[in-house]
Amino acid sequence: MGVGLDHLQGLYAQTSDPWGFEHSAYEQAKFKATRAALSQSGYRSAFELGCGNGQLARHLIDICARYTGMDAVATALRAARQTVPQGRFVQGFYPGPLPEGDFDLLILSEVLYFLDHAGLEQLATDIATRWPQAEIICVTWRGPTGNPLEGEEALQGFAQTLTTQDFTCVTQTDDYRIDRALPGGST
């Protein structure tokens, strides 16, 4: 099993910004690099799994006609709704139901390593079935996660399982990497 709901709720027990996203120069630069990794200047509909408090969404909302964020933690979603009031935010724990939508952009920012191998396979299946033509952006922490899967291990497992998109590393630093996956893989 990947990281449990209790662990995620514990991260937000004292604050709606446990990683300091809002004021961290490092995090803000990473959000800008994430936006720069996109292949288009605009999208019909974006979905971010594990949207947290909405700080990355704040950098993307102006280029998305519609934005949907999903997180398991109510505290994070309350903050996200305040940060990006024009976004749509739903509560959900993955693996589990994903929101409906014809998304052409999927954001998986530092979320894959919270899953286990079965969860990664399920996510790849869900995406291949529902959004095979979507662009996917994966942001991956390269340091120790403290979770059963490390970041690059989770990314590699996910990329190998998802056959409808082709992955390319767009940005890599000592701390993180950003991969873009575009439609065109073998089905």
Q: Give the bridge partners for 89, in sequence order.
A: 69
68, 90 contact by CB (below 8 A): yes
Report whether pLDDT(84) > 60: yes
Q: What is the pLDDT of residues 129-168, one digit of tens each?
A: 999 999 999 999 999 988 889 999 999 999 999 999 999 9
Q: What is the pTM of this model?
A: 0.89
With a CB cutoff of 8 Å and minimum separation 6, the contacts of 55 are: 17, 21, 22, 27, 31, 83
Q: What pLDDT score was predicted for residue 27?
A: 86
83, 58 contact by CB (below 8 A): yes
pLDDT range class, residue 26, cuts 50, 70, 90: confident
Please give the share of the chain, as a percent, with pLDDT higher than 70. Answer: 86
Q: What pLDDT score was predicted for residue 17?
A: 58
Report whether pLDDT(6) > 70: no
Report whether pLDDT(87) > 60: yes
Measured CA to CA in angstroms, residue 27 lies from 3, 137, 166 at distances of 22, 16, 26
